[in-house]
Every structure is written in structure tokens, then in C-alpha cells.
Amino acid sequence: MSRNRILRAQILSCTAKPQGESGWFYLSDGVIVISDGIISQVGSFTDLKATIPADIPVEHFPDQLIIPGMIDLHVHYPQLEMIGAHGEQLLDWLNRYTFPTELKYRDKTYASEKAEWFLEQLLKQGTTTALVFATSSSESVDAFYEAAYARNLRMVTGKVLMDRNAPDQILDDAQGSYDASQALIERWQGKGRLGYAITPRFAPTSTEQQLELAGDLLKKYPSTYLHTHLAENRAECEWVSELFPAQRSYLDVYDHFGLVTDRSVFAHGIHLDKQDLERMHQCDATICHCPSSNLFLGSGLFPLKAIRETGVRVTLGTDVGAGTSLSQFTTQSDAYKVQQLQGASLGAMDALYLATLAGAEALHYQDKIGSIEVGKEADILRINLNATAILSERTKQSESIEDTLFSLMILGDDRAVAETYILGEPTRKSAITE
């Protein structure tokens, strides 16, 4: 467990969905006291300096900003090695690049090497929690969990379920996928800071029997999650209609098998109708917006404003490897541009919420992560606002913390992440002590 640590810097965090000046706070000279990995004090340095333990050195970063660790609600760890592959449309892209790559993850040694590399890259980008696709092999899941557990990370993954419409070498079968998933749940769910997601790839690659058994698993293990794709591409939606003619819509396929719940996270959700959205709101399910991926594959423009008006929870995901960066700053920037193309807008504080606390709420982890508050786990980032010459010059012109945050959202990347802390422990750089 982490030793005690005191960090002094600018501090910014959402505490709820931002509404004007509410739902967030900013301290121009703040302090965070971390005790055994948990935030025990947070406030202005002036207010708290008399209560700070004298035997603990204060690590002071006056020109830097501390924010919560980023939460990526949809990313494929095996696809990081194929990021930037030529942008076909979704279904062609899967067949040409994704499935051949995922075949390699049946080799446990290979999967372990890539899992370590993936997590290293994720932490460099400032992502401390993610909802992660593995592959259809149990070896890929065990490899990821072993690497995440060794680093004491709060991560969620699961075995991909797919028993049709893909190369035979990566298909499973309905009962076999149930048995393998159950074994993985028993082995990993709740171990350390790990969670398990029941993970049908998407409706076209699962038979009705497999989806039915996935629903059975979700009922049997109510602390697990459901993680899959939904209404990403119009050709995909048409294919679903052909494969499941008895169901009203793509969402209705999942709903029919008991897969739409308050612990369900659906990536994309671009092409949904009002009835679908009303049902998602009724079930308190989540849509994970993946703007970089949607732009790269030409899948469509996510109607964020209209979807949020229905009350459906929205989060952000990088969706690497169709997404082109693991950085949530880059993802927020793309989300902003997607809204601009539709005559809408995404504010910087709202984007920060989508990339932090909203993800924690979707995973029911809001009492543990997602914001900088007393009693929460100290998964936090220290941001260097002078990381690049352009970012530095731009932030000098800022008139408010919102303006600074917007500059970071548009211009920031991994270079701006001076340090990623997991339970208060730095993961890659040494600290500067006052």
C-alpha cells in the first residue's frame, strides 16, 4: 500500500455533472494529503497548512495542475499494435486487420508482453481505469488481469464472446464461452481492484444461444458488467436487422436477452432512435462516445446533445485501434469537433466530466474514483501546462481555469502528463520535494 504523500499544486476536479459554476471546484494553490493510497485531505494550502503532518515532505508543483485520473470506457488492448491501419469501413476493417491481429493473442506469452506494453502506454497517457476488450481467448484475459493486478490498477475486462461470422480460428461456441467466462469471473472478479465484463463482441458475431447465455451470466453474477458495441455503422445496423428479424432494433436484440441494465456499457450508439434511447434511460444503461474512432472509420457523427436530452448517460472512450490515440485529451478534442460539425458545443469542464467522473458513475465506482474528494482512491494526474511551447504560450493567455482547461483539451497529449499516480504512488517519474 502507498506511503503517505502530500502534493501541492493547482487542483481541478468535477464533483458532479457540471452545471455552470456548480459540480466542480478549482484551487489555485491546493493541497492533497494521501494516506495509504486514499485522499485524506484536500483544500487550499492556506486553510490546511496548519493541519498538515510536519514529518511528511510537501511535494510542490506551483505551475502544474492536478486532476483526476482519466477513465476510458471503451478500448481494445490487442488492437494497440494495429493502430493507424488504413481506414476501411467498419466491417471490412474488422476482417482485414482486427481478426488476424487478435489471433495472435491465443499465445499467452505474446498476450502477456502486449498487455504489459498496453498498460504502460495507458498510464503514460494519464488513463488510470479502463473498460477493456481482450479477445475470444481466455489466455488474453488472464494476461491482461495478471499485468493489471501486479500494478494494483482498477481495470475491467472480459473474454470476447463470438461464435459466428468471423474466422473459425477465433470463434468459440456458446456453451464453451459460457464455461470459460464463468471460470474467469470466479478467478478474477473482485480480486484486488479488478472487475469483470461479460463481452459479446457485437450482435452479428453471436448466435441467439450465446446471447441468451450471456444474459444468464449477467444475472448469475450481478456485480459484473456488460460491454459491447451498438449501432456504430449503418451497414452493421442493417446486418443486425437481417440476422435478428424478430427484434425491433439493434438495442432490442440485446434487451431481448437481458443485456440492457444499469451495468451495461454500449460503445458508439450513433444510430439509435427515440424508442431505443428511452429504453436505455429507463434501464440506466450507458453509451460510450468514441469520436476518434467514428471519424477514422467514417461511422457517423454522435448526436451528444440529443442523446443527453433523453437522460441517457454518456462517457468517453478512445476505442483504440480504430481510435487513433490513447490520450483522453485527444479524444475530448475530437468530441468537441464532432459537436461543432453539428452546430452544438462541448465545454471543457463537461468534457473533463465525461472523461473522469461520468466513467466512474457508469462503472458504479463513483465512491472510489473519478474525482478528487476525501475518502477516494488517489488515482490522479499531475499536468504540466508548460509541456510544449505552444501549450505554454496559449495557457499564459488564459483568463480562467475553464480557458486553461480548454487549451489543454485541444492542445494536450501525453507530453502534458507529468506524472500518473496510482493510489498515490507515481508510476513513471520522480517527484520534486519542497
Maximum pairwise Cα distance, the chain: 69
Q: Judge whether residue 110 has pLDDT over 80.
A: yes
pLDDT band of residue 237 (cuts 50, 70, 90) is: very high
Q: Which residue has the cell 452546430?
A: 343
Nearest to 154 by CA among 196, 204, 101, 116: 196
Residue range 128-150, pLDDT digits in tens: 999 999 999 999 999 999 999 99
Q: What are the C-alpha distances in Å from 204 to residues 187, 200, 239, 292, 337?
A: 28, 10, 7, 23, 30
Residue range 180-235, pLDDT digits in tens: 999 999 999 999 999 999 999 999 999 999 999 999 999 999 999 999 999 999 99
CB atoms within 10 A of CB 263: 22
Q: What are the C-alpha distances in Å from 420 to residues 33, 180, 204, 406?
A: 16, 34, 38, 20
The CA distance from 62 to 349, in Å, is 22
Residue range 344-388, pLDDT digits in tens: 999 999 999 999 999 999 999 999 999 999 999 999 999 999 999
Per the omega criterion (within 30 degrees of 0), is the bond before 321 cis? yes
All structural domains of the chain: 5-69+370-426 (2.30.40.10), 70-362 (3.20.20.140)
Residue range 263-303, pLDDT digits in tens: 999 999 999 999 999 999 999 999 999 999 999 999 999 99
Residue range 64-86, pLDDT digits in tens: 999 999 999 999 999 999 999 88
The CA distance from 123 to 69, in Å, is 9
Q: Judge whether residue 429 has pLDDT over 70.
A: no
Phi, psi of 183 (to 5 degrees): -65, -40
Residue type, 173: D
Q: Judge whether residue 88 has pLDDT over 80.
A: no
What per-residue confidence (pLDDT) applies to 255? 98
The CA distance from 264 to 283, in Å, is 9
Count the residues in the chain: 434
